[in-house]
Each structure stands twice: as C-alpha cells, then as structure tokens.
Amino acid sequence: MIGFDYGTSNCAVGVMHNCAPKLLSLGEHGRYIASTLYAPSRDMIVNWLHKQLTPTAQQHFQQQRARQLQKGQGALRELVLDGMPTELSFGQQALNDYLQEPDEGYYIKSPKSFLGATGLLPQQAELFEDIVAAMMSNIKTLTEARLGRSVSQTVIGRPINFQGLRGAESNRQAIDILTKAAKRVGFKDVEFQFEPVAAGFEYEAGLSQETRVLVVDIGGGTSDCSMLLMGPQQAASPDRSAHLLSHSGERVGGNDFDIALALKGIMPSFGLDSVLKSAKPVPANSFWQAVSINNIHNQTQFYSAANARFLEQLLRDAEQPELLSRLLKVQKNKLSYRVVNAAEQSKIGLTDSLEQRVDLSDIDADLSVTVDREGFAKACNRELNAISALMTEAIAQAGCEPDVVFVTGGTAKSPVLNAFLQQQFPNRPLVIGDHFGSVTAGLTRWANKIFA
C-alpha cells in the first residue's frame, strides 16, 4: 500500500517504514517528480500507455480506444521514418525535451489543473485520463522497482475543490478521471483523502494534547484550508468525521503565482502596457492568454490562426513594434510554458534573494528582466487575497478560532507568503511544515490505517 500525492506541481509516493511514513526515491527523479509529460506526438500517448498495461487491461483498453490507437500507430510510423524518438519522458526530462524544441512534440505541465474544467468534451476527458494514466504508470513502475514488489492499494490526495468554490460536478469529473486512470494501471483499491486533512494527520503525529489546527495547504494548482480537531485521542479513532470541522478550497495555487509574475513582471517586455500609434493602449487579452497555461480555452485562443493575424496587425499598429514582435514569437513557437517556467524559477529564486534576473535571450537577443520581492507581492495581490478569504471561510464554518495554523505546500516557502500569513494571524502560532512532503506522509499514514 502507498500514499500517493499526485500533485499539480510534483508527485511523490510514501510507504510505512518502522511505524513512520517514508517518502520513496523514484529513480533519477529523487523523492519528487515534476508533474510534466512530453511526447514526440500527442497521438502516440495512447499507444505508449497500451504497451504498459497487463494483457487483460490491454484487451479492455483496445476496445475503448480502437480509433485513437490506430491514429497513434500512424504517428509512431511517421516518427520512426523521421528517425525521431518514440518514448514519453516525464519530470525534469520532459521539460528539457520541450525546451529543446518548443514548437515540436506535445508538452503538458500540471494536467491535474484541467481535470475539473467545465465543458470538457468526451474525447478531451479521455485524453486527460490517458495522460494521467501514463504518469501514474511511470510512477507505479518506479515505485515497484524501488520496493521490489507490486503495489495494488493506494490513497491519493485530492483538493477540496478542483475547480471553483462550488464545483460538485467538477469534483465528480476529476475524481472519475483519477479513479479510472489509477485502476487502469493496476491499482485495485483506490481511496482519496483531502490534501489538507492528510497534511494535518502528519502534523498530528507530533501533538501531545487536543488542538484545533487550521491547515493551510497551498499547492501548485489549488489552495485548501481545513479546521481539524487533532491530538493523540483523536488519532486513535477509526472514524475521523467528527474531527473534521470545516473545509474550504479554491483553484488558486503556485501555478497562479507563476502566471501572475509572468504577466506583471515579464509581459511588459513583450508589449503589455505599451500603446499603439493612435495612443490607445495595446489590448491586454493576448498577454493574459499567453501565460494562462492552466486554462485550455485561453491557450487554444492564443495559439489560433485568427490570433496570429490579430497580433501581426497589432505589430503594424504598435508604437513599439519590437516589443510586440516578442509576443508574436511566443505565439508562433509555442513558448508559453517557457515564459511561465522562467517566472516560476524566478519565484523560487526570490525565496533566498531580494531580486532575480530573468534571462530571455533565447526569445530575443540580450533580453533580460529583473523582478523583486516587492513586485512579486504586488503581482500576486489577487491570489493572496483569495487565500485569505479561504482561511476566513474555514474559520467561520468551524465556528471557532484555531489554536495553531499549520502551513504546507511548495508555495509556502515564499517569504512573501509567509509575511502575508503572519499578518493574518498575528496572535496565533504559525507552523511551517515540510513544504512538499507533509501531504504524502499523511496520505501514507491514512493508507496504513484503512488498508492494514
């Protein structure tokens, strides 16, 4: 049995070892594998996945995906004739493959962000199921190689809400995709646990008395808050429902901080906030679409032929066409992920330094941008306020104040976020947990409790 954090930014797996959760090293990826996938052709993902399945699962999959498998076989033949690789890559290698040739192949980061999207067509839902299954298959293979045995039971983390504040249908859709993907790759028993609750279970292991804990989990795609009644007596209970006092969650997380920094910190060098020859401002919509890598509709619109024509006209009308030419290059060469990745790396760099230089010379010679913590805080004002509202909602639902605030998630490492949270709770202890491992450890504890 394993605890499986299929995260928006990273994935991790835990097992119980000497009565405590232990995060596994997943081959060359280490304990955390970035939630990314690269395929030389999108159509071949289904064929790669088909090869990983057991014979029985292959037969069932063949019946469900006959048309896609046939199309993928054609894509594979073309790749072989062109002397191109035919394997998928994951984690950091996926990003490396994408950055090598951004306008070739198919790259996706954080597919979990799309699982609850409204209006998904059946073929889109099937594609996301296959992408998730491919990633899960890779992680399951790495896990079993590390353990030397097969794994068939798992507890998978889930946010309070995959999409929006009241997205019951979105939650059902996302859980359905995750369940089908997990079962397809060989997990026989699949359970889910709220990510902030899982993080709370890990924090609870160190408590000596009953404590009201407000868990704030700021993940890559969502932020979730849970007010939990925790302690040694509660931990021993087989039914924790009475101890889960409230939950709140919204689709705002680390990716949104990256996008906000990309928009406000980088896009001005691509023409945002510039003017046309008529003295009118350059329309901002295309800049937002360019960096909205977690929004299917926005990305489709940005990379459409109609938008290419629109940007070419803007270039002719711009007072500073050299700026708009950079945006047009992003559009033509599919560089959205490149720009947002630069913002993400700068955000990480701002954890230990007050400012960061962003090198974008591969887009335009000698182009670089400097961002700092103050600018980052201003860029992310909306996201910070959204997290504040979630904390307020969780406290109001619970009808009590927390004794302690426990913060986890990768974005929680940011000094900007830490300072903001300290302002929200000036008179409460603020505990910063394992930024990436708390959820995985808690899921592992829960898996051990329900499957043992």
Q: Indicate the pTM of the whole model.
A: 0.87
Question: CA quadruple 314, 319, 322, 327: dihedral positive or negative?
Answer: negative
Residue 3 has pLDDT above 90, yes or no: yes
* Residues 35-60, mean pLDDT to the nearest whole number: 94
Lowest pLDDT segment from 270-284, 319-333, 432-446: 432-446
pLDDT at 379: 95
Residue 222 has pLDDT above 90, yes or no: no
Which amino acid belongs to residue 157?
A: G
pLDDT at 306: 96
Which amino acid belongs to residue 360?
A: L
Q: How far is residue 410's CA from residue 429's CA, in Å, rounded to a whole number?
A: 20
Q: What token pair was written down for 39?
A: 């395929």
Judge residue 432's burial from the number of C-beta atoms within 10 Å of its C-beta, 0-12 exposed, 13-18 middle, 19 or more buried: middle
pLDDT at 238: 80
Question: pLDDT digit string (tens) for 20-40?
Answer: 999 999 999 999 999 999 999
Q: How far is residue 86's CA from residue 195's CA, in Å, rounded to a whole number?
A: 35
Q: Which helix (H) or strand (E) holds 405?
A: strand 404-408
Give CA separation, 350 vs 95, 211, 291, 386, 408, in Å: 21, 34, 20, 21, 18
Question: pLDDT digit string (tens) for 402-424?
Answer: 999 999 987 888 899 988 998 99
**Mean pLDDT computed over every residue of the chain:** 93
Q: 193, 205, 246, 250: which is closest to 402 by C-alpha?
A: 246
Residues of the chain with CATH 3.30.420.40: 209-252+381-433
Q: CATH second-level architecture of 209-252+381-433?
A: 2-Layer Sandwich (3.30)
pLDDT at 240: 86
